Chains A and B, each alone.
Chain A
Amino acid sequence: MKIAVLIKQVPASNDVTVDPQTHCLIRENAEMTVNPSDLNAITAALALKQQAGGTVTVLTMGPPDANKALRTALAMGSDEAWLLTDRCFGGGDTLGTAKVLKAALAHTGPYDLVLAGDASSDGATGQVGPMVAELLGLPCATDARKLELEGGKLSVLRQWKIQKVRVRMSLPCMATVGLGSNQPVLPTIRSQMKANKVEIPTLTNQDLSLDTAVIGMPGAKSLVTDTLAREGSHRKAEMLTGTPEEIAKRIKELMDEEGER
């Protein structure tokens, strides 16, 4: 069974800045990590591989340093990794990203199953996975909590609002895996060191031959016009120290200040 997992490298914390002109995240100085629900997707893929045999291939679109995320995936137990990187892929919307991923899956596949995290922790649209499925003409189940192979079909227990729903899909198919749906596999010192030495192949648009008018910034159908801080996000936590009396006095002051607002 050939499984592909689409992953994304995201900032490790919320402490990131946004370019005031393009409204894109400035990632250069941010510590980056694998998108959390993608770790669940990789873990689900590795479990299915253990059940049915085969290979797990991870792909990510991003700048050259997104290799770090791929190396984590390899250290977790993935078999191969591809980096999709080209200036013309950057600055696009979710559809542009999905087009690049679809082309890369066609180039490196075919695959029996494509998995992705259900949403990224930075963009959080949850759109890319289903868009890829649509472009590939595959059935897709979102927010999967459990994936099992049953009689050549993929059985997916998915979260739908407050209920859980089970769907069965013929292969090939796609699923997006929910955050926290499993305990992500940890890389070990040994496997991480091995992964750090792997030469990761790169695909550029020379390999994928996409029309640059439909991807990246020129192809973006949606445009971020502004970014707004979530209401309340400027709230600060304050550690109250001192004697119990001093702390009590400060709490009273804070309550009075709140009352005056």
Chain B
Amino acid sequence: MAKKKIGIIGGGISGAALSYYLSLYTGEAEIVLFEKGRIGCGTTAKSAGTVCLFDDSLNNRYWDVRLYGFETYLKMEQEEKGSAGFDQTGTLVVAPHEQEEQRIKAGIALAKAAGYSGEYITDKARIKEILPDINPDNILGAGYTKDDGYFDGTMISNTFVKKMQANGGTVKIGTEVTEIIREGDTAVALKTADGTRWDFDVIVDCTGPWSRFTGELVGLDVPIWHTKAEAFFLCPPTKRPGYVFPVLKYPAFYALRAGENVFICKSHLSMNLDDPMHAGQWDPDKLPQTGGTDDYFIEFLFEQMDSFVPGLADSGLVSSWLSYRAEPRDFLPIVGETPVKNYLLATGYGGNGVIEAPAVSRDLAKFIMRGESTMLLEEWAFKRLLK
């Protein structure tokens, strides 16, 4: 049987994971992954990488997706220490109001059902023990687990690619796709910047924030917007030797430790797609490596810190960065078939790529290799956006 030829554009977490899951169809798939820069070094490198068991901007509706991602990376880490960059700090998810409290409690129940620890704490002194910088007076309580933390998206992407190569796949680093060739309504090949033509049975766009530009190459309008992921690295004013800063989640922002500093970022669900300060359609190639954040973000950050985590309000601003999350209007990814035959998408993860990529890639690989869809693919299909 002839091997199915599959070209994957983009070597971030989306493309890297998909290439690996396809490579598990031993002897059936001929995979080429094209990355114009380096593996896992675009938006993936600016991902917070928090994979929390009972809170994420990913709704509890997709909890199995989160669990699958979490356990995939745990196993990766167990296979080879450091390969997923796991930093088990635990997570403290804060409930400022009742609705949030209910959501967290449901998440704890789900985490426990899967065999992980989780507790909802209302004892303010105990919450201060876990996070001394917090103001516990204006919250109802907090969910806490010690089992999860941070995974490194860049490390994971490289591990996936390494495994894919070990399974016989090919990666073309520093290779930009400049043209996608159609025959009628079918994508059949692509060309790279050096003029080489590559024929494929299936082409998958995994370019995230670049997807609108990649879609243009094949005449497809990919309906994603960019929201700004503005992040700061803070140097806390008080050093606490031996203390582990947990992943901290509030509805409007999240924070995690980064060495001795604290990384802090605005939550993507607090972004308004109709606010031009929050969202638009920009060119990710014009993003600076560092800096680029807006002044309004400082005000936002100060208000949040002053009110909720006053111990961090006088932190030094070490550095900052801006990256773009790719979001469809419903904040869910776009996965699977498009109006262009044999041209598939695995994009629009909106900052949840590290969490979602394993489950999505597992299902999408099966769809590509066997034509069998799944409930997840049905819910995140391109066609939902055409309604």
When distances are taken between beta carbons in the complex, the residues of chain A under 8 Å from B174 are 238
Which residue from B162, B302, B305, B317 sits with its C-beta under 8 Å from A186? Answer: B317
Identify A241's interface contact among B161, B305, B315, B317, CB under 8 A. B161
Is the C-beta of B299 less than 8 angstroms from some C-beta in chain A? yes
CB distance from A184 to the nearest CB of B (A): 10
Q: Is B299 within 8 A of A188, CB to CB?
A: no
B155-196 interface bits toward A, Cβ cutoff 8 Å, 1 = contact, 0 = none: 000100110011000010110000000000000000000000
CB-CB under 8 A from B301, the residues of chain A are 189
Complex CA–CA separation, A189 to B232 (angstroms): 10
Asked if residues B317 and A187 are in contact (CB atoms below 8 Å), the reply is yes
In the complex, residue of chain B having the shortest beta-carbon distance to the beta carbon of A192: B298
With the chains together, A196 CA to B161 CA distance in Å? 44
B-contact bits for A222-253, CB 8 A (1 contact / 0 none): 00000000000000001101110010000000
Q: Is the CB of A31 within 8 A of B288?
A: yes
Residues of B within 8 A of A238 (CB): 173-174
Interface residue B314 (Cβ < 8 Å from any Cβ of A): yes
Please, which residues of chain B bring their CB within 8 A of the CB of A239? 38-39, 173
Q: Select which of B173, B288, B291, B315 is within 8 A of A188 by beta carbon.
A: B315
- The interface residues of chain B, by DSSP majority, are classed as mixed
How many residues on the A side are at the interface (Cβ–Cβ under 8 A)? Answer: 21
Q: How large is the interface on B (under 10, 10 to 19, 20 to 34, 35 or more residues)?
A: 20 to 34
Contact with A along B283-322 (1 / 0, CB 8 A): 0001011111001001101100110000011111110000
- The reply to whether the CB of A13 lies closer than 8 angstroms to some CB of chain B is yes
Residue numbers in B under 8 Å from A246 (CB-CB): 165
Chain B residues contacting A25 (CB-CB under 8 Å) are none
Query: A13, B289: Cβ atoms under 8 Å?
Result: yes
Q: A206 → chain B, closest Cβ, in Å? A: 28
User: Which of A12, A31, A190 meets B302, CB within 8 Å?
Assistant: A190
Contact status A242-B165, CB under 8 Å? yes
Q: Does A33 contact B (CB under 8 A)?
A: yes
Closest to B289 in A: A13
Chain A residue contacts of B286, Cβ below 8 A = 29
CB of A193 closer than 8 Å to a CB of B: yes
Please measure, in the bound complex, the distance between the C-alpha atom of A187 and the C-alpha atom of B233, giving whole angstroms: 12
- In the complex the two chains form, is A241's CB within 8 Å of B165's CB? yes
| Interface membership of chain A positions 65-81, coded 1 if the CB is closer than 8 angstroms to chain B and 0 otherwise | 00000000001000000
Judge if B255 is at the interface, Cβ distance under 8 Å: no
- Whether A186 lies near B316 (C-beta < 8 A) is yes
Say whether B234 faces chain A, with CB atoms less than 8 Å apart.
Answer: yes
A199-B291 Cα distance, complex, nearest whole Å = 23
- Verify if B235 is at the interface (C-beta below 8 Å from A): yes
User: Are B165 and A12 in contact (CB-based, < 8 A)?
Assistant: no
Bound Cα distance from A75 to B302, whole angstroms: 14
Contact of B314 among A13, A30, A188, A241 (CB under 8 A): A188
6 A-B residue pairs with Cβ-Cβ distance under 8 Å, sorted by A, are A12-B291, A187-B316, A188-B317, A189-B301, A239-B38, A241-B165
Which 8 A-B residue pairings sit nearest by Cβ, starting from the closest? A186-B316, A31-B288, A31-B291, A193-B302, A188-B314, A189-B302, A196-B295, A193-B298
Residues of A participating in the B interface, judged by any CB pair closer than 8 Å: 12-13, 29-31, 33, 75, 186-190, 192-193, 196, 238-239, 241-243, 246
